[in-house]
Amino acid sequence: MVDCLFCKIINRGIPASIVYEDERVLAFNDINPQAPTHILVVPKRHVASLNDLSVEDDQLVGELVRRAAAIANERGISAGGFRTVFNTNRDAGQTVFHIHLHLLGGRSLQWPPG
């Protein structure tokens, strides 16, 4: 997707602080972190939102979730706890329409979110 910010990061058109990469997944630090750890885990294949997922994406979504957990473990925040969030569309505040799993941790997080 030419006009997608995260596709540009994936294709190295825009710099990012990358923390993990494999053939299907990229993870990078959020530019505006809301917690000591705030990482975005994204598929390299463009999918606009959770509303656009199909059954063929099930494995990919599982990889995003497992990767977030693995990064949390590397950072030593697994036992204390962390939050993983997919925002979808306007009411949830989605601003980048390429699915991304937020990994937030390193501090106590409030619930419910705003």
Which residues does the annotation mark as catalytic?
A: 100
96 binds ligand 5GP (CB under 6 A): yes
Query: Is residue 51 a contact point for ligand 5GP (CB under 6 A)?
Result: no
Kindly identify the residues of this chain, within the stretch 10-29, that bind ligand 5GP according to CB under 6 A.
16, 28-29
Number of residues engaging ligand 5GP in binding (CB under 6 A)? 13
Query: SS3 sequence, the chain?
Result: CCCCHHHHHHCCCCCCCEEEECCCEEEEECCCCCCCEEEEEEECCCCCCHHHCCHHHHHHHHHHHHHHHHHHHHCCCCCCCEEEECCCHHHHCCCCCCCCEEEEECCCCCCCCC
- Residue of the chain from 31, 108, 110, 111 that contacts ligand 5GP (CB under 6 A): 31
